[in-house]
Amino acid sequence: MKLMRFDEGSVTWVFGQQAVSRLLVAFKFFLLARLLGPQSIGLIAACLMALSIAESLTEMGMSHALIQRRELLDQRSLDALWTATALRGLLLTVVLFAASGLIARLMSIPEGTTVLRMVALVPFARCIASVRVVIAQRERRFRTVALLTTTFVMADFVMSAVAALTYHEVVWVLAALPLSEFLKAIASHIAFRTKPRLNFDTRPLGEVMEFGRWVWASSLLTIIVNQLDRIITVKTFGVQTLGLYQTASRLAQFGVADFGIAMSQYLFPNFSELARRDKSRAAHYALALFSQLGTIALVVATFLCVAARDIIQLALGAQWSGAVPFFRIFVYLMAAGVLVGLLTSYLRGTGRPSRVTRGTVAQLLCLLVSSAILVPWLGSIGVAFAATISVFVCMTLMLWDVLSDGRDQIRELRPLATVGVPVAALIAILGEVFSTLPYHAVGLGFVCAAALVLPLQRLRAGISLTV
């Protein structure tokens, strides 16, 4: 089977990269949480949030356009693309560095100015990487990309852990991020044997930007949606609450979303290739994968919700008990986020990034309305509820778009209703009945694992059929 092989284009490399990378990132985050506490984690989250928003404001969507387009650009056009990307990174770094004090005041973290200046170096480092990394993804050379990415995730982990254990200060911990990004950019040019060449001719960028503008709009809206709840939290409830909120979100993401992220990275170029030959077949596989992945995500999310208190205690310690209510909500948000990633890879792969943008607009509007209603009523937990509801709205709209490509294939969603929902309900009931027993979460874990054997096998088979 393709999934179990280790050749250049095997999905094993995508999942391996995602598993190792996310495991190291999560372990680093939880190590910092134990060493630094909620206040410092809230400061880190606020600074990285500012970086994410700034990067999305200038995201041109060129990498997605290169993967999706039918013909590859020539070398001069690729040089022009690299030049535009590098200039974007340089401008963003300068603006972020100069405005760090203002951003810190706006986010109510005056102590974060120095940290923001450190983080400001990241965009330039990321934007000078070789454009051949994207070409390798288009050509499904997943092994090369996986080895490059994983190496520098490991480097960032080691440097961050050493800094945290030695200095116990946020600024030294975050210094590892721009350093590892610069090293990764240099290594990308060495690995793909490319030399940075400046080309200021903007004519080759026209067609790329036509597709990329929708990716830019979608990415901008997505980052606003993903960060708006955190902005509301830090401005309304303070940095410490943001630390609890962000840590619960990261822990939930580690438990549910990582598999979906890896799968989406793999499926986007495959859906693009499949749609070029047979669009109806692409829709069939998208719905089949949605059903199996939805079943897995729902069952795992319900188990994590039931076992939330034990998981927080084991992973972070008693000082993080305030994160339990957030975690129980976020596991369902992340389950829906997995499915949104799958639907996004399909819609972009079939040349309809505008549909992704529409779904994200609906998500943003729903977040604003539901936050206005729930936050005064429920406080900080209302922000988590609002964020989760908005993701489910986005998922529903995007699923409708996929169904419009193959309405006769709605039967592919049957396993989600006949397996996923009943098993999730059973786990919730057993968790309530046996909640007073010690180690009851272990038994529920075995029930969850047994229920997922068949859906995992079918998901594996479905992924291999998209190749």
Can you tell me which residue has the tokens 């990034």?
353
User: Between 11-57 and 239-256, two packed helices, what is the crossing angle to 10 degrees?
Assistant: 150
Residue 1 is predicted with a pLDDT of 41
pLDDT of residue 345: 83
Q: Is 4 exposed, middle or buried (0-12, 13-18, 19+ CB in 10 A)?
A: exposed
d(CA 306, CA 384): 17
- pLDDT at position 2 is 45
Mean pLDDT of 248-273: 71
Query: So what's the pLDDT on residue 385?
Result: 93
pLDDT in tens, 163-177: 878 877 777 877 888
Do 79 and 203 contact (CB within 8 A), yes or no?
no
Buried b (16+ CB within 10 A) or exposed e, 88-122: bbeebbeebeebbeebbeebebeebebbbbbbbbb
Which letter, b or e, does each residue of 23-53 get, where b requires 16 or more Cβ atoms within 10 Å of its Cβ? ebbbebbbbbbeebbbebbbbbbbbbbbbbb
Question: What would the mean pLDDT of 28-52 be, rounded to a whole number?
Answer: 77
Asked if residue 466 has pLDDT above 60, the reply is: no
90-104, 222-236, 244-258, 279-293: least confident range:
244-258
Mean pLDDT of 60-64: 63
Q: State the chain's mean pLDDT as an integer.
A: 79
Q: Supply 316's token pair.
A: 């972070």
347-401 pLDDT tens trace? 887 777 778 888 888 988 999 999 999 999 988 899 999 999 999 999 999 999 8
Task: For 68-85, write each residue's pLDDT tens digit.
Answer: 666 666 778 788 888 888
**Which pLDDT score, from 0 to 100, does residue 69 have?**
62
8 A C-beta contact, residue 467 and residue 2: yes
Q: What is the pLDDT of residue 94?
A: 92
pTM exceeding 0.75: no
Model pLDDT, residue 258: 60
Instruction: Find out whether 336 and 395 touch, Cβ atoms under 8 Å.
Output: yes
pLDDT at res. 210: 60
Distance CA(295)–CA(300), nearest Å, equals 9
More confident residue, 292 or 69: 292
Q: Note the maximum CA span of the chain.
A: 69
pLDDT score of 251 more than 90: no
Asked if pLDDT for residue 3 goes beyond 50, the answer is no
Query: pLDDT, tens digit, for every residue of 141-151?
Result: 778 777 888 88
Q: Which stretch, 238-247, 253-262, 359-368, has highest mean pLDDT?
A: 359-368
Q: What is the mean pLDDT of residues 33-52?
A: 77
- Residue 112: partners with Cβ closer than 8 Å, 6 or more residues away: 43, 46, 47, 104
